[in-house]
Amino acid sequence: MLTHYFGATVPYGNASILSYHLETNAIGAVVNGDSTDAIADGDVIDLGELPEGFLLDDAQLFVIAGATASVTASLGFKYEDGVDDAEIPQDAEYFLAAGADLATAGRLRADGGKLVILPKTARLILTVAGAVDQESAIRVTVTGELTGAK
């Protein structure tokens, strides 16, 4: 049974949109990141928190200014404590499978087909394939329902 965080009687529901931003500078390093190195092939970028009890409905990745040609990525989540959940394991490709184009401006929609409620706090992660060596800008929105902690 789904428990509603704000109450089951409100007509507008519990829908929330969480927004995350990623920008790189002229050498391909994350602006305001914890490293001054350019994004390299295989890097996993932590975009931010996904709260415990969040029903993951959808995600969109907006490539505002494309990364270096042929750079791709996957979009998913990992648990903050690093430990898998038996029923809902961490999934680096939950929203977008590997190969999502980050070099071309446009919008990418989640390509997964399952709904999950996060049993604990997670991190939204972007796993990059290829090296970034220029300015770029990406915005990710995750839509879901705040059901509250168990």
Q: Which domains does the chain have, with CATH numbers?
A: 15-146 (2.60.120)
Question: Is 0.85 topped by the overall pTM?
Answer: yes
d(CA 93, CA 10): 33
Q: Please, what sign has the CA dihedral across residues 1, 8, 124, 150?
A: negative
**Mean pLDDT for all residues in the chain:** 91
> Is residue 123 within 8 Å of residue 32, measured between CB atoms?
no
C-alpha distance from residue 55 to each of 26, 59, 130, 142 (Å):
37, 12, 31, 10
State pLDDT tens for residues 5-38: 555 555 556 788 999 999 999 999 999 999 999 9
**Residue 150 pLDDT grade (very low, low, confident, very high; cuts 50, 70, 90):** confident
